[in-house]
Structure 1
Amino acid sequence: MARNSQPKSKPAVNSARARRIATSTLAAPAQGWASAHARCLLESLGRLHRRWLASLLTAMVIGIALALPTGLYVFMNNLDTLSQSWQRAVQASLYLSDDVDNERGQALADTIGARDNVAETHFISAQAGLEQFRESSGFGAALDALDDNPLPSVIVVTPRPDMPRAGVGELLVDLESQSGVERAELDQAWLARLYAILSVIERSAWVIGLLLSAAVLFIVGNTIRLDIENRREEIEVMKLLGASDAFIRRPFLYSGFWYGLIGAVLGLILLGICFLALGKPLGELTRSYDGALELHGLSFKGVMTVLATGVTLGWAGCVLTVNRRLAAIEPR
């Protein structure tokens, strides 16, 4: 029995050893690839550090190019928040017919206030409206000379804050058709102009962002082109020794990565400095609107988007240049 049990363990041992050898064989190229890329990543950073002033200037230009459209985006978001608070302040005035008494007017206001798309209603009788006008206008003596009250009863309707602009217009048409309502008014022309301004700012941010993105591509591409020309003899020697284009191209690609990343970080720093510098006047603007405007900077997602955009533009600008320039360099 002992002789029969020993041969059975050998295949298991051999199988385990084969799996370890196969795993190490497959892991070795992956580890070599990762170490090669990590080495190129650090070497490219070291090259930028050795000429830190020129690299900083290039990264600063990239940072400014990224900060401008990002700043417009933040400004537009804060202004949009303000417009939403103004949207909540929009009210419709329903002027009632002369034959509608106070009891019927209050009942109509309660009926309208029970709607799902209406936040609240407030009934103002003709006499109460006259008293309010007397206090605000200062024409008390002239009003006393009138035989009748010229003002109608009014129902002030406040739509729900989350109602879209088109829904507010439809609500106004519906309320005007109610029995006892002679005329309905909603001063929304200023709000429409505000939304038009916001649309222009949004389009401008996209246009400026695209133009500055193209500028970043040219800046990175020109910087990498100069770097390739400065290392032309080194590249020729590397090609004579049999180095592939992928091997030669790798450090330049990582240089584009670092230019984009550092530029994005500098852009975020510039944006934060501008936000702090404008904090006081924007705070005064907030207080002038009863605190309706709450300032917000970039969210975590926005910060990650700026960093990813910078890295992508730096990498893309490098790719557009390095392939063409390396193909033109041949050993003599």
Structure 2
Amino acid sequence: MKQTQSRAQRQASPGADKRTRSTGAVAARTGFGDLWRSWLGHHREVALESLRRFFATPMASTMTALVIAIALALPAALQLGLANFQRAVAGWDGQPQVSVFLHKDARDAAVESFAAKLRSDPAIAEVTYISPEEALAEFEQASGLGDVLAGLDANPLPAVLLLRPRDTQDDDKLQILVANLQQQALTDSVVLDLAWVQRLTQLTEVGQRLSAGLAVLLALGVILVVVNTIRLHIESRREEILVVKLVGGTNAFVRRPFLYSGLCYGFCGGILAWLLLLGGVLLLSGPIAGLSSSYGSNYALAGPGFSYFIGLTAGAALLGLSGAWLAATRHIRAIEPT
């Protein structure tokens, strides 16, 4: 009788059963915006915490950043030196040049006729005549021996014709041109400056390759320094990592603070490397300016500009991040709660 009465009551009020069921737990779906804000908030908190830990141990952090800075400053200094060397020789076009020294007793009319003949030669692009007086004045200015040369009875320098060949890539044609010039009646001697051009080009190439090789080796050294530093940080926080993993923290979640630590080490190392370069340039700029002025030049040593600052800091930060990722990925994966 009671069961029949309860069924009748439920049939009479069907909404009552629905209201009873609706009072249970309700599952809510998290939106993409909430996930994005949570992800950004965690990154912000982790970055600030990494900075706080970095400055909490200033001596150890500075020493690590200084090691990174020295490793980065060495190839950067070599590259900066090559850039200054190329800028110093930028006024010289680097093309082979033939110097034809004429006999001292050659007459002016014969020299002019010989120069006109050479200008009409299709193998020669340009002919420049330097008289003995002009050669002596240029030598006095370059050597600073004006008082000594003034005491000479006669000008010891001959007239010179500077020839610029049209085809500078074919060594055989250059050698044929030199042989033809040596057979001329007014020619005393012929000098081809091709060897100096080749040596300068090879020296520059050697410097560039040396700089690139040194940069690769020292970049590996920076990564190893960061790997060892982050490994020590992980070992010192092993218990904390175990607790985070026990409550469900993923490897990516645990790894994130150490990535920011490696980024801090690399970025500060890049700043210190730029400061080391700047200090070296300031130390050498005075003597180099004095040396260049003694040769009648106003050449000044160029320092590391804003592009060097951006390159060093960004490259160092990337190396620090790479080293931290390698260390954290390997060692955090090995730490698992039992």
How high is the TM-score relative to the length of structure 2?
0.72
Q: Give the conservation status (yes or no) of the 8 Å contact 2:267–2:313.
A: yes
Q: Structure 1: how far apart are the matches of 2:118 and 2:242?
A: 83
Match of 1:94 in 2: 100
Q: Which ranges in structure 1 are unaligned for 5 or more consecutive residues? A: 1-23, 144-150
Q: Structure 1: how far apart are the matches of 2:54 and 2:167?
A: 52
Which of the residues 104, 119, 122 maps onto 2:129?
Answer: 122
Match of 2:266 in 1: 260
Match of 2:26 in 1: none
The Cα offsets for residues 90-117 of structure 1, whole Å up to 9 and x where unpaired, read as 753225699x864453255357569998
Structure 1 residues 306 and 119 mapped into 2: Cα distance closer, same or farther (>3 Å)? farther
Q: Deviation of residue 193 (structure 1)?
A: 3.7
Which of the residues 67, 78, 82 maps onto 2:73?
Answer: 67
Is 1:79 aligned to 2:98, yes or no? no
Q: Give the conservation status (yes or no) of the 8 Å contact 1:109–1:123.
A: no
Q: Structure 2: how far apart are the matches of 1:62 and 1:164?
A: 48
Q: Structure 2: how far apart are the matches of 1:168 and 1:295?
A: 35
Is 1:297 aligned to 2:300, yes or no? no
Which deviates more, 234-243 or 116-125? Answer: 116-125
Q: Structure 1: how far apart are the matches of 2:92 and 2:134?
A: 26
Which of the residues 212, 234, 239 maps onto 1:233?
Answer: 239
Match of 1:7 in 2: none
Is 1:274 aligned to 2:280, yes or no? yes
Q: Which ranges in structure 2 are unaligned for 5 or more consecutive residues? A: 1-29, 140-147
Identity between Structure 1 and Structure 2 (%): 33
The two structures, once aligned, show a CA RMSD in angstroms of 4.1
Which of the residues 315, 320, 325 maps onto 2:326?
Answer: 320
Q: Structure 2: how far apart are the matches of 1:215 and 1:70?
A: 15
Q: Deviation of residue 25 (structure 1)?
A: 4.4
Structure 1 residues 167 and 279 mapped into 2: Cα distance closer, same or farther (>3 Å)? farther
Q: Structure 2: how far apart are the matches of 1:128 and 1:44?
A: 69
Aligned residue identity for 1:211: L
Q: Give the conservation status (yes or no) of the 8 Å contact 1:112–1:118.
A: no
1:186-225 correspondence to structure 2 within 5 Å: 186-225=192-231
Number of aligned residues: 295
Structure 1 residues 41 and 172 mapped into 2: Cα distance closer, same or farther (>3 Å)? farther
How high is the TM-score relative to the length of structure 1?
0.73
Which of the residues 98, 107, 112 maps onto 1:106?
Answer: 112
Q: Give the conservation status (yes or no) of the 8 Å contact 2:274–2:308.
A: no
Q: Structure 1: how far apart are the matches of 2:123 and 2:32?
A: 65
Instruction: Return the index of the structure with the highest Cα Rg.
Output: 2
Aligned residue identity for 1:58: T
Which deviates more, 103-112 or 202-211? Answer: 103-112
The Cα offsets for residues 147-187 of structure 1, whole Å up to 9 and x where unpaired, read as xxxx9864233x49xx9974899667557647957563224
Q: Structure 2: how far apart are the matches of 1:302 and 1:165?
A: 35
Looking at both structures, which has the greater relative contact order when contacts are Cα pairs under 8 Å and sequence separation is at least 6? 1
Q: Give the conservation status (yes or no) of the 8 Å contact 1:73–1:205.
A: yes
Q: Give the conservation status (yes or no) of the 8 Å contact 1:78–1:293.
A: no
